[in-house]
Structure 1
Amino acid sequence: MTSMGETDVLDAERAEEIKLLANEAFKANKFSQAIELYSQAIELNGLNAVYWANRAFAHTKLEEYGSAVQDATKAIEIDPKYSKGYYRRGAAYLAMGKFKEALKDFQQVKRISPNDPDATKKLKECEKAVQKLRFEEAIAVHESEKRSIADAIDFRSIDVEPQYNGARIEGDTVTLDFLKKMMDDFKNQKCLHKRYAYQIVLQTREMLRAMPSLVDITVSDGDHFTVCGDVHGQYFDLLNIFEINGFPSQENPYLFNGDFVDRGSFSLEVILTLFAFKCMCPSAIYLARGNHESKSMNKIYGFEGEVRSKLSDTFVELFAEVFCCLPLAHVINNKVFVVHGGLFSVDGVKLSQIREIDRFCEPPEEGLMCELLWSDPQPQLGRGPSKRGWAFLLVQM
C-alpha cells in the first residue's frame, strides 16, 4: 500500500509527465489536445500554477478568451508572484479589446519581471490603447447628437479619373454586368474606384436602416433558400460558393449569417461584393450581423487596417456605421430562427423582444443583443459561461 504522501508524490510526477505531453501537443498546434492534457495534469495536481497558465495559453490560441482569463486568474490565485499568470490574462483581455484590464495585468508583469521585453511591448500597446480610449470617452457625444458620417459624403461629386479601367456603375443602378466585372477585378487584386465603393455602401445603408432587427423571410413551397456561415474575408471561398450554388438572385436567394470580415486578407472585397448584390436585388440576399461586424473586433482582427490601406479613414467610419444597421436575426417561414450567435442566458425570450431591440449601436457587453451575436453551443446540457468571454455557452434542449 502507498501512503497519502506517496500518492501525492506519484500524482505530481504523473502530472508533470502529462504536462510535457501537453507541451508537445501545443508545439504541434494541437491546441484542443493540449487543453485536454493540461486538464488531466490539473486533475492530478491542481496547485501547480504553470498548468493553469499553460492551459490559458492554449485557450487563447483557440480564441477562447473567457476560459483563458479564468485559467490565468486561477494561476495568479495559486502564485501571486507568477508573472506568466498576469501575462496570459493580460493577453486574453487584450484580444477581447478590454484594454484597461489588460493594462493592469501588464503593469503587474512589469513589476515582477522588469526586463521582460515582450511585457514591455505589450504594456506600451495597452497604454496607447487606453490613452486613446480615454480621449474618445472625453470627447464622446450622445448617440442622438452624433452626426452620421454617411450624411457628409456626396459620392456623385467624386470624379473618376480617365485612366481608371475598372468596373463602373452607370447612374444609380447596380447591374449583374457591373458585379461580374467588379468580381473579376477583385480576383486580379484590382481596386474598385472609391466613388463606386461609396455608392454601394451608402445604398446598402439606406436599405438596412429601413429593415427591422428581426427580419421575416418567406420561402414558397418547392423553392430553395441558402444560408451561409462565416466568410471572414475569404474572397475566393465566396467565389466558390457562387460557382457551386449560383449567384444570388430572386430565384436563388441567400442569407449570409454574419462575420463577413476580419482574419482573411480580402474582407473589403467580400463585403463590397455582398453589399453590391444587395443593391442589385434586395430580395436576392439577406445579411445578418455577426460579432465581427463591430469596431472592437475590426480593430483587433484586421478589417480596420485593411480598409484604411485600401481605401481611407472615412471608409473605416462608414463601415462601422453601416454594420450597426445590420439586422440581428431572421425567421424563415415562421419556423426557422437564424442567428449568428445563439440563445439566451434567461428563459422566455420572445421574438417580439428581439424585434424591439434598438440595434443601431456597437454591441453591448451583456443583454439580448450581445447574446444574439456571441453565444456559442456547448456539449453539456444547460447554460455555462462563454469560453470566449462574451455572452453564454448554450445547448439546444
Structure 2
Amino acid sequence: MPTMETENNSNISRAEQLKQQANEAFKGHKYSQAIDLYTQAIELNGENAVYWANRAFAHTKLEEYGSAIQDGTKAIEIDPRYSKGYYRRGAAYLAMGKFKDALKDFQQVKKLCPNDPDATKKLKECEKAVMKLKFEEAIAVPESQKRSVADTIDYHTVEVEPQYTGARIEGDVVTLDFVQKMLDDFKNQKNLHKRYAYQIVLQTRDMLRALPSLVDIVVPEGKHFTVCGDVHGQFYDLLNIFELNGLPSEDNPYLFNGDFVDRGSFSLEVILTLFAFKCMCPSAIYLARGNHESKSMNKIYGFEGEVRSKLSEIFVELFAEVFCCLPLAHVINGKVFVVHGGLFSVDGVKLSDIRAIDRFCEPPEEGLMCELLWSDPQPQPGRGPSKRGVGLSFGGDVTKRFLQENNLDLVVRSHEVKDEGYEIEHDGKLITVFSAPNYCDQMGNKGAFIRFEAPDMKPNIVTFSAVPHPDVKPMAYANNFLRMFS
C-alpha cells in the first residue's frame, strides 16, 4: 500500500511536470492550453503559489483579467512574500484601468524587491498614471455642464493646404471614388486631411444619433448579409475581408460588431474606413458598439494615443462622443440577434427593453448596457462570474430562454479571440465571430466572417488568415505603462 507521504510526493513531482508543460505551451502562445495544464498542476498541489501566479499571467494574455486577479490573490494568500503574486495581480488591475489598486500591488512588489530595477520602473509609471488620473478628476467638468465638441466644429471652415495631395471630398457627398482613393492613401501610410476626417466623423454622428439602441435589419429574399467581429485596428486584415467578400454596398451590406479600435496600431484607418462607407451608403454598413468603443479602454489600449498622434486632441473628444451614439445590438430579419458581448444577469429581458436603453453615455459598470458589451458564454448551464471582471458568463439554458422569449433563432456575438476565427456553442444557438487574425501579431488565430442568405438565414462561415502589414507593432500608441507588460 502506498503511504500518504509517497502519494503526496508523487503528486508534487507530477504537478511540477505539468507546470513545465504549461510553461512550454505559454511560450508557444497557447494560452488556453497553458491554463488547463496549470489547473491540473493546482489540482495536484494547490499550495504552490507559483502555479497560481503563472496561471494568472496566462489569463492576462487572454484578457481574462477577473480570473487573473483571483489567481494573483490566491498566490498572495499562499505566500504573502511572493512578489510575483502582487506583480501579476497589479498587471491585471492595470489592464482593467484600476490604477489605484495596481499602485498598491506595485508598492508591495517594490517593498519585497527593493533592488529590482524593473519593479522600480513599473512603480514609477504607475504613480504617474494615478497622479494623472487624480489631476483629470480634479479638472473634470460635470457631465451636465459639458458642451458637445461636435457642435463647436464647422468642417467647411477648415482650410486644405495647396500641397495636400491625398483624397478629397468634393462638396458634402462622400463617393466611392473618394473612399477608394482614401484606402489607397491609408495603404501607403498617408494620413487623411483633418477637414475630411471631421466631415466623415460628423456626418456619421448625425446618422448614428438618429438610430434606435436596437436596430432592425431587413435582408430581402435572395440577398445576402455579412457579419464581422472584432477588427481591433488591423486595417490590412480589414482590406483583406473586402478583397475576399467585396466592398460594402447596398447589394453587399455588412455589420461590424464592435471593437473596431484599440490594440492594433491602424485603428484610425479602420474607423475612418468604416465611417466613410457609412456616409457613402448608410445601408451598406451597420456598426455596433463594442466594449472598446469607450474612453476608459481607448485611454489604455492605444486608440487615444493614435488619434492624438495622427490627428489632434479635439478628435479624441469627438470620437468619444460619436462612440456614445453607436447602437448596442441588431436583429436581422427578426431571427438573428447580433451583439458584441452577450446576454444578461436576469431572465425575461425583451428586445423592447434593449430598445429602451439610453445609450448616449460611457458604458456603465453594471446593468443591461454593460452586459451587452462585456458578457461571455460559458459551457455549463446557469450564470457565473465573468472571467474578465466585468459583465458575467451565461450558459446555454440562458441563451435558449432568451431566444425563445423573443421568438429568435440565433445569437451571434464577438468579443473573444477564437483559434479558428469562430466558435459554435450552446447547441448551435450561439456563434462567436472574431475578425482579427493573428490577433496582436502573436495569437496565431484565423479570422472569420459570417454570410447569411435570405430567406433561410443559415450562417455560412468563412475563415481567413492574417496578411502582412507595415512594421508598426500592436499597442504602439498604448498607455506607456501597459506597453511595459505587453
1:90 paired with 2:90, answer yes
Partner residue of 1:23? 23
Partner residue of 1:2? 2
Instruction: Give the counterpart letter for 2:265 in structure 1.
Output: S
**Using the alignment, how far apart are the partners of 1:326 and 1:152 within structure 2?**
21
Tell me by how many angstroms 1:71 deviates: 0.6
**Using the alignment, how far apart are the partners of 1:58 and 1:364 within structure 2?**
27
Partner residue of 2:367? 367
RMSD: 1.4
Partner residue of 1:297? 297
CA deviation map 1:1-36 (0-9, x unaligned) = 122222222211221222122222222322222211
CA contact (8 A) 2:32 2:58 kept: yes
**Using the alignment, how far apart are the partners of 2:13 and 2:235 within structure 1?**
50
The share of aligned pairs that are identical, in percent, is 82
**Using the alignment, how far apart are the partners of 1:274 and 1:210 within structure 2?**
18
Partner residue of 2:168? 168
| SS of residue paired to 1:170 | coil
Partner residue of 2:356? 356
**Using the alignment, how far apart are the partners of 1:5 and 1:350 within structure 2?**
58
**Using the alignment, how far apart are the partners of 2:248 and 2:28 within structure 1?**
40
Partner residue of 1:67? 67
CA contact (8 A) 2:380 2:396 kept: no
1:58 paired with 2:54, answer no
CA deviation map 1:82-103 (0-9, x unaligned) = 1111110000010111111111
Instruction: Give the counterpart letter for 2:275 in structure 1.
Output: F
Instruction: Give the counterpart letter for 2:195 in structure 1.
Output: R
Instruction: Give the counterpart letter for 2:57 in structure 1.
Output: F
**Using the alignment, how far apart are the partners of 2:149 and 2:258 within structure 1?**
23
Partner residue of 2:142? 142
More off after superposition, 267-276 vs 247-256: 247-256
Partner residue of 2:264? 264
| SS of residue paired to 2:318 | helix
**Using the alignment, how far apart are the partners of 1:306 and 1:138 within structure 2?**
25
**Using the alignment, how far apart are the partners of 1:19 and 1:219 within structure 2?**
51
| SS of residue paired to 2:104 | helix
**Using the alignment, how far apart are the partners of 1:55 and 1:310 within structure 2?**
38
Q: TM-score, normalised by structure 2?
A: 0.79
More off after superposition, 16-25 vs 211-220: 16-25
CA contact (8 A) 2:379 2:396 kept: no
Partner residue of 1:344? 344
| SS of residue paired to 1:225 | strand
Instruction: Give the counterpart letter for 1:209 in structure 2.
Output: R
| SS of residue paired to 2:396 | coil
Q: TM-score, normalised by structure 1?
A: 0.97
| SS of residue paired to 1:330 | strand
**Using the alignment, how far apart are the partners of 1:151 and 1:118 within structure 2?**
46
**Using the alignment, how far apart are the partners of 1:17 and 1:217 within structure 2?**
53
**Using the alignment, how far apart are the partners of 2:52 and 2:171 within structure 1?**
60
**Using the alignment, how far apart are the partners of 1:119 and 1:62 within structure 2?**
23
Tell me by how many angstroms 1:200 deviates: 0.4
CA deviation map 1:225-255 (0-9, x unaligned) = 1111111111122222222222222222111
Tell me by how many angstroms 1:371 deviates: 0.9
| SS of residue paired to 2:272 | helix
**Using the alignment, how far apart are the partners of 1:379 and 1:221 within structure 2?**
35
**Using the alignment, how far apart are the partners of 1:28 and 1:275 within structure 2?**
37
Partner residue of 2:114? 114
| SS of residue paired to 1:317 | helix
| SS of residue paired to 2:63 | coil
| SS of residue paired to 1:185 | helix
**Using the alignment, how far apart are the partners of 1:198 and 1:396 within structure 2?**
44
**Using the alignment, how far apart are the partners of 1:123 and 1:346 within structure 2?**
40
**Using the alignment, how far apart are the partners of 1:36 and 1:204 within structure 2?**
44
CA contact (8 A) 2:380 2:395 kept: yes
CA deviation map 1:338-375 (0-9, x unaligned) = 10000111111111221121211111221111111111
Unaligned runs of 5+ in 2: 398-486
**Using the alignment, how far apart are the partners of 1:100 and 1:8 within structure 2?**
41
Partner residue of 1:284? 284
Tell me by how many angstroms 1:380 deviates: 2.3
**Using the alignment, how far apart are the partners of 1:134 and 1:314 within structure 2?**
21
| SS of residue paired to 2:338 | strand
* Count of residues in correspondence between the two structures: 397
Instruction: Give the counterpart letter for 1:21 in structure 2.
Output: Q
**Using the alignment, how far apart are the partners of 2:124 and 2:366 within structure 1?**
29
Partner residue of 1:202? 202
Higher helix share: 1
Tell me by how many angstroms 1:199 deviates: 0.6
CA deviation map 1:317-336 (0-9, x unaligned) = 11111111111101112221
CA contact (8 A) 2:289 2:373 kept: yes
Higher strand share: 2
Partner residue of 1:274? 274
Partner residue of 2:448? none
